[in-house]
């Protein structure tokens, strides 16, 4: 499956996670990396913000000339990361619909058409002719997909397959990749692996 999409495990460095494979350690490292994670994430969504801009917003300071929607997105992502860490550290994180929707409810608040629930209408993906599944098919598609995913033994593979599953099927009107990444990283950190952060330079080189 991964070969078909050009994915290689060697593209990801899990060396730091292997040495201290504990959920608390993985959560601590992600917490320290919040500004960079958020900068990377919003850059993938096309936000023209610098790392200092992100740090300023996280400090609670309003940026002159920035869009209100951009600042909402940054703060929502920070809040969703806080919730993710809380779930992992308390062993409450699960690859299930409730967790998926809970994280979307925080990450996409005031951004998506509706947040915290699966979409009830059609969507499209810019730059591709692929048509996501019809809204009425999503509940059954999720049940079938998550049953398959939760039977994958390797936690790294399980986490990455969930990200691909969420991004492909577009369960929400917006923020699908963002929340699917949160779910992926929650699964990784629950098993002591560090969260995956895609460097901004790679984001921009692929656009």
Question: Is 3 among the domain residues?
Answer: no
pLDDT tens digit string along 41-68? Answer: 888 877 778 889 899 888 887 766 567 7
Question: Is 29 among the domain residues?
Answer: yes
Q: Residue 146: what pLDDT? A: 97
- Full residue range of the structural domain in which residue 198 is found: 17-205
Question: What pTM, to 2 d.p., does this model score?
Answer: 0.85
Question: Is 8 among the domain residues?
Answer: no
Question: Is 144 among the domain residues?
Answer: yes
Q: DSSP letter string over 152-185?
A: -S-HHHHHHHHHHHHHHHT-SSS-HHHHHHHHHH
* pLDDT at position 204 over 90: no
Question: Is 2 among the domain residues?
Answer: no
Q: Residue 1: what pLDDT? A: 36
Instruction: Name the residue among 161, 172, 196, 201 with its Cα closest to residue 182.
Output: 196
Distance CA 133, CA 111 (A): 22
Distance CA 130, CA 28 (A): 38
Count of the separate structural domains present in the chain: 1
Question: Is 157 among the domain residues?
Answer: yes
* pLDDT at position 8 over 70: no
b vs e for 161-180, b when ≥16 Cβ sit within 10 Å of the residue's Cβ? bbbbbbbebbbbbbbbbbbb
Distance CA 148, CA 150 (A): 6
Q: Which long-range contacts (CB under 8 A, 24 or more apart) does 89-96 make?
A: 89/23, 89/24, 89/27, 91/23, 91/190, 93/186, 93/187, 93/189, 93/190, 95/146, 95/149, 95/150, 95/158, 95/162, 95/183, 95/186, 95/187, 96/146
Query: Token digits for 32?
Result: 């320290």
Looking at per-residue pLDDT, the higher value among 199 and 151 belongs to 151
Looking at per-residue pLDDT, the higher value among 207 and 112 belongs to 112
Query: Token digits for 191?
Result: 């098993």
Residue in the structure block whose two tokens are 């967790």 = 99
Q: Residue 133: what pLDDT? A: 95
Question: Is 6 among the domain residues?
Answer: no
171 in Cβ contact with 165 (< 8 Å): no
Question: Is 9 among the domain residues?
Answer: no
Q: What is the dihedral of CA 161, 163, 166, 169, to 10 degrees?
A: -60
Distance CA 24, CA 192 (A): 8
CATH of the domain at 193: 1.10.3290.10
């Amino acid at each position: 499956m991964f070969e078909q999409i050009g994915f290689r495990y060697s593209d990801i460095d899990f060396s730091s996670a292997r040495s201290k494979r504990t959920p608390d350690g993985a959560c601590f490292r992600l917490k320290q990396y919040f500004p960079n994670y958020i900068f990377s994430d919003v850059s993938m969504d096309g936000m023209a913000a610098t790392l200092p801009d992100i740090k300023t917003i996280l400090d609670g300071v309003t940026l002159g000339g920035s869009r209100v929607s951009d600042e909402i997105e940054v703060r929502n992502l920070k809040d969703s990361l806080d919730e993710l860490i809380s779930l992992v550290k308390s062993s409450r994180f699960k690859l299930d619909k409730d967790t998926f929707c809970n994280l979307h409810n925080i990450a996409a608040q005031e951004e998506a058409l509706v947040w915290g629930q699966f979409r009830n209408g059609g969507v499209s993906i810019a730059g591709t002719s692929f048509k996501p599944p019809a809204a009425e098919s999503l509940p059954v598609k999720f049940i079938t997909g998550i049953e398959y995913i939760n039977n994958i033994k390797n936690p790294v593979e399980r986490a990455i397959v969930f990200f691909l599953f969420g991004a492909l099927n577009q369960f929400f009107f917006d923020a699908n990749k963002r929340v699917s990444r949160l779910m992926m990283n929650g699964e990784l950190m629950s098993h002591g692996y560090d969260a995956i952060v895609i460097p901004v330079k790679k984001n921009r080189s692929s656009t």
